[in-house]
Amino acid sequence: MTDLRLDGEVAVITGAGGNPGLGRSYALLLASRGAKVVVNDLGVGPDGRNRRAASAELVVQEILAQGGEAIADQHSVAEEDSARAVVQTALDAWGKVDILVNNAGVAILAEFDEISAADIEKVLRVHLFGTIWMCRAAWPHMVESGGGRIINITSGALAGNRYVSIYGAAKGGIVSLTRALAIEGADVGIKANAVGPAGETGALQLLSNMQNPPPELVAPLIAVLAHPDCSASGRYFESAAGRTVLRCWSESRGYINPELTPEDLRDHLDEVMDMTDHVLVADPLENEYSNIIDRKPYQPA
């Protein structure tokens, strides 16, 4: 069995300065397999409030000590120009970007009617907009080079969890974005996948009493999806404690009446919600409805 190598590949990993941290584990493994890594982290810590600072430079030092190649970057992903600067760090050092892992995030645990407007905006800016801006920054360079791999970090919280309504909403948006990018990327050699990880992080240590598995057990999935030979795209994986699964959507057989009325639907709602014979919703690259929009020319605002 040959080792999975990433020699010559250039990877940008955001939010990779925490210890313990998922991003750090991705950076260490990809570097150990030959990738040149931009370790990005703003340094403000998992809650964005400097209560437990992170350090991209310290992770770079770890990589260099193990014989790898890496550089630190401290730009924010939450603004468009700053996200471009993260990618520019890779271009200035190595002339390209092959792999983008959008891992940066902030963790704020609060009830929906308790969380402040400022914290709502912070969560959305870093998680959702940060992923959008980083993908936008890397995309043209991947197109120019003939392809690339985008790995967007999401969360099982998108299915609904207490205290993380806004976080879950952002993570759900990331999965939707990833599926759309896979469709558009298929024409230009870019593959995009989403990963929902679980592992011990500084955020969980700071904000909860939960015990979590080592983050290093998620990193192998990131390495596989980052490899040029991996064909997966538009998929959503969950990974924790050495268990990796593909998460899919399904729909019920439903109820059909071409002359539907509110009363008729009310009387058959149990049938609509019956998942006994459910069917899988097609992945984006296999979905016949993925390209049905016949758009008029785009007019920028």
Query: Among residues 138, 131, 43, 127, which one has the least CA distance to residue 96?
Result: 138
| Tens of each residue's pLDDT in the chain, 301 residues | 799 999 999 999 999 999 989 999 999 999 999 999 999 999 876 656 665 678 999 999 999 999 999 999 999 999 999 999 999 999 999 999 999 999 999 989 999 999 999 999 999 999 999 999 999 999 999 999 999 999 999 999 999 999 999 999 999 999 999 999 999 999 999 999 999 998 656 555 555 566 777 889 999 999 999 999 999 999 999 999 999 999 999 999 999 999 999 999 999 999 999 999 999 998 898 888 888 888 888 889 8
Q: For residues 34 and 7, is the Cβ–Cβ distance under 8 A?
A: yes
* Residue 163 among the catalytic residues: no
User: Quick one: tokens of 157?
Assistant: 């919280």
Residues contacting 278, CB < 8 A, separation 6+? 250, 251, 252, 253
213 three-state secondary structure: coil
Catalytic residue among 26, 163, 167, 236: 167
Query: Among residues 196, 288, 291, which one has the least CA distance to residue 235?
Result: 196
How far is 102 from 123, CA to CA, in rounded Å?
14
Residue pLDDT, tens place only, 260-280? 999 999 999 999 999 999 999
Taking the model in full, what pTM does it have? Answer: 0.93
Q: Which CATH class is domain 10-246?
A: alpha beta
How far is 95 from 22, CA to CA, in rounded Å?
26
How far is 78 from 125, CA to CA, in rounded Å?
5
| Domain ranges within the chain, ordered by starting residue | 10-246, 250-282
Query: Among residues 237, 203, 218, which one has the least CA distance to residue 123?
Result: 203
